[in-house]
Amino acid sequence: MILYCIITAFLNVLGGVVLGLSVFVRNPGERQNQLFSWFTVSFTLWSFFYLLWQFAQTPEEALLYTRLLLGSSTFIPITYYHFVSRLTGQANRVEIRIGYLVAVVIAAFTLTPYLVAKVEPELMFAFWPKGGPVFIPYILHFAYFTVRAWTALFSAFRQSSHGRRNQLGYVIFCTVAGWIGGLTNFLLWFDIPIPPIGNGLALIYIVGVGYAMIRFRLVEINLLVVRMISYALLILVVTPIIPLIFKTAIWLTGETALPEATFYVASTFSAGFIFVAGYLLKKRVDRLLEGTLLREEYRGRNHLRHLAQRIASISDESEMFREVIDSVQTTLNTSGAAVAVRGELETEMAPVVSLGFSEGFDERFRLEEDDPLVRLVQRSRKAALLEEVEMESDEASSERARTLWKQERIFALIPIHADTVFYGVLILGPRAGHRLFSGNDLSLLESICLQIGLNLRSRQLERRASQAEKLISLGTLAAGLAHELRNP
């Protein structure tokens, strides 16, 4: 059991670090990424001190590590609930602030006997912690915000449509499994003779929350999982470098312990070597992934990037629309794709080309300028996924998104614009196999639509310039005729 606790704690630390960094680096400015990062910090610190506790040789060491692990874990439920509240669009600011305040108060007792009073033998553990007076408030705080987070997820699950419900069901399963596994860590605290057999499930928990972090976009989590495993293996390869360098330095100096100056030099050399080796190995791992496991994903994205570059050279608007629709539907494997734009003097947007939608779509589908979804994408200049709009936006936008999904099976709207001029939208149906659009997919689609808007703007300015030249020529001709009439 001790070996099991060591292995699972190490995997939890590794998973927390890799997943937390992967999500944060993906978009550091995004509020949800920041919240998830704070959650992984709490989780990783708990796992790290849990790991050190397993190696403790004296009661004093064990007591220190158990106090630190419990103090770190105080913030796990509230950061998790804060993240889930943000994710599901539920504003509970007062409750969240109170939760953080209570967590800070409890954490203030970390190094005192009020949170962890002592350690004593339990089952196969030589040093098992026993709670102090503050331990019961800690448990109540932990349980309350855990249950609140679950209720928020279940509420979102009931309100979601089929595609998102599948992903939310996966998230709920992983998080519930993780919390149940974590619960087994507390049974011995209450003298219930059951060891922490579920500690390994905590890794499933954080992976499930990581899945929620990318807003239930299945493609992105697939890429993230592949990268996470690859980077974890990379860390395992690089980790032995530090002890190897120190062992070598001890062997070269013939000392049982390194002198302070030698220790400093060895530390500096180790840090530099790991930095360079890690950077070079990461580049090689990324290239290897792009050529093997992630080949199809990168091939599709490269195709969309080339499409965005080609649009500028297409002079015929109809040809441009057809190529965009064909390329996007083929690359992303959507059930349908269409472009709806408005004329220069019109407010109504109608499909100019479509593929894959039901019969009569071109004739019946229209978007007015005052449509809630049109105002939404026009204001944000970002792609709108209708399932997300349905859950997170105002009532009018939510109802309109629900209607378009049910009637036309429209999954996403991407605005076509140039500067302040709004031309229309790229309309996409759902992807095959319930695959959702990743953040990179949407960024590429937004770039393509921006290029379409710039192309339309360029053609519009050319037409206006041509019309101006014709008017000037006509004015010159009229002036000449008037002169001839006055002077026959």
Paired strand residues for 426: 339, 414
Res 261 pLDDT > 90? no
Q: Which residue has the higher pLDDT, 487 or 339?
A: 339
- pLDDT confidence of 326, banded at 50, 70, 90? very high
pLDDT of residue 392: 64
- Predicted model pTM: 0.59
CA 67 to chain CA centroid, Å, is 32
Give the helix/strand (H/E) hosting 237. helix 218-238
Paired strand residues for 417: 422
- pLDDT confidence of 294, banded at 50, 70, 90? low
Q: CA 158 → CA 38, 88, 151, 162, 386, distances in Å?
A: 28, 12, 11, 10, 17
Res 332 pLDDT > 70? yes
Over residues 336-351, the mean pLDDT reads: 87
Q: Look at residues 287, 274, 184 and name the one whose alpha carbon lies nearest to residue 237.
A: 274
Express each pLDDT in 344-400 by its tens digit. Answer: 777 889 999 999 998 889 889 999 988 999 999 988 888 998 877 876 677 788 889
User: Is the separation of the CB atoms in 67 and 116 below 8 Å?
Assistant: yes
Burial class of residue 51, CB neighbours in 10 A (0-12, 13-18, 19+): buried
Domains identified in the chain and CATH numbers: 2-239 (1.20.1070), 298-458 (3.30.450.40)
Please state, in angstroms and rounded to a whole number, the distance separating the CA atoms of residues 143 and 341.
52
Please state, in angstroms and rounded to a whole number, the distance separating the CA atoms of residues 36 and 83.
6
User: Is the separation of the CB atoms in 146 and 80 below 8 Å?
Assistant: yes
Query: Which amino acid makes up residue 390?
Result: E
User: Is the separation of the CB atoms in 316 and 415 below 8 Å?
Assistant: no
- pLDDT confidence of 424, banded at 50, 70, 90? very high
Joined together, the tokens standing for residue 213 give 């972090």
Q: Which residue has the higher pLDDT, 37 or 365?
A: 365
- pLDDT confidence of 230, banded at 50, 70, 90? low
Res 221 pLDDT > 60? no
- pLDDT confidence of 456, banded at 50, 70, 90? confident
pLDDT of residue 223: 57
Res 258 pLDDT > 50? yes
Please state, in angstroms and rounded to a whole number, the distance separating the CA atoms of residues 380 and 398.
16
pLDDT of residue 155: 85
Express each pLDDT in 69-80 by its tens digit. Answer: 999 999 999 998
Over residues 287-311, the mean pLDDT reads: 72
Please state, in angstroms and rounded to a whole number, the distance separating the CA atoms of residues 73 and 142.
9
Residue % of the chain over a pLDDT of 70: 72
Q: Is 255 helix (H, G, I), strand (E, B) or coil?
A: coil
pLDDT of residue 218: 38
pLDDT of residue 340: 94
User: Is the separation of the CB atoms in 171 and 216 below 8 Å?
Assistant: yes
pLDDT of residue 217: 47
Over residues 213-239, the mean pLDDT reads: 56
Please state, in angstroms and rounded to a whole number, the distance separating the CA atoms of residues 216 and 198.
26
Paired strand residues for 131: 116
Please state, in angstroms and rounded to a whole number, the distance separating the CA atoms of residues 43 and 80.
10
User: CB count, 10 Å around CB of 154?
Assistant: 13
Q: CA 94 → CA 37, 100, 101, 243, distances in Å?
A: 22, 10, 11, 48
Q: CA 11 → CA 68, 159, 227, distances in Å?
A: 19, 35, 16
CB contact set of 228 (below 8 Å; sequence gap of 6+): 15, 18, 19, 22
pLDDT of residue 92: 81
**Average model confidence (pLDDT) across the chain:** 80
Express each pLDDT in 149-207 by its tens digit. Answer: 888 888 888 876 555 566 667 677 777 888 788 888 888 888 888 888 888 777 777 77
Paired strand residues for 118: 130
Taking the CA atoms of residue 296, residue 302, residue 305 and residue 309 in that order, the dihedral angle to the nearest 10 degrees is -140
- pLDDT confidence of 431, banded at 50, 70, 90? confident
pLDDT of residue 365: 92
Give the helix/strand (H/E) hosting 297. helix 295-310
Paired strand residues for 367: 349
